[in-house]
Amino acid sequence: MILHSSKPTNNQSQDEALLGKIGSLLRDPKVNAKKWLIVIVVIFLGFTFIKDILLPNRIVNYRLEIAFEVDGVPVFGSGVQQLSIRRVPQILTTTSIVKNVYGEAVVIDLLDRGAIFALLGSPVAKNEVRLSSIGLFNSLLMRSCGLTESLKHKTWNDYIRSIGRITGECEIAHEDLPIFVHFSDETDPYSAQRVDPENPDTTLGKGIRFLNARLVVTNERISQKIDQRLDWLTDDSGKRLVVHLDAEKQPFARSLTNGMFRRMTK
């Protein structure tokens, strides 16, 4: 019996050559590094996508703009603040979302009448100011841009995503205005006085009038300059601004905290 050796066909030779090249590439450490990098990126993107479905997180920067009038002359103040809102598992907390506002009080210079500071807080029931005023201010963007009512028809996740889609500007209603403060002496935190936007002349004298306030969504960075103006503002904690005051004689000044003037991200 005569055995004939079969010669490889052109296709077989090409396939074997291709497999050889692939094997060489897989053994190449540079290629392996790229391969694992691609795998890691795909896993990370997949995790991020799933997390956004289950536990969305949104951050919105906005410029708070406030206008007053001094003896017929308009004056303005503005500052960039940031809203951070995220969904959290209820097994870790008693609430479904965590929201915080970062930034600092907006300063409105009143020509020769000193200045008004619009704090990171809003009056609570009965127009009072207390620690919970900060929590109310955390919803300023949602209330001013008309998203509060929409929550009745949305899940928390959809609500958070809708906040991330806010653009343009939103007028701030009178009932949502921040707490306004004036210092008769800016070097002395004990001299804090509350300014009523409806009757600012009660505190500041005649000729002062509130005009309007609005939010403008922006990509600008959070403002950080108030400590140059109020050098006694040493931190942004929740401790009281002043502690050695008679609560009955000066209840407003004693109700203020450092965190109402400045709160920065960690």
* pTM for the model: 0.78
Which pLDDT does position 67 carry in this prediction? 98
Instruction: Give percent of the chain with pLDDT exceeding 90.
Output: 40
pLDDT tens digit sequence for 32-85 = 667 666 766 666 666 566 666 678 889 999 999 999 999 999 999 999 999 999
Residue 251, classed as helix, strand or coil, is helix
Based on its alpha-carbon atoms, the radius of gyration of the chain, rounded to whole angstroms, reads 29
> pLDDT tens digits for 164-187?
999 999 999 998 999 999 999 998
d(CA 53, CA 156): 11
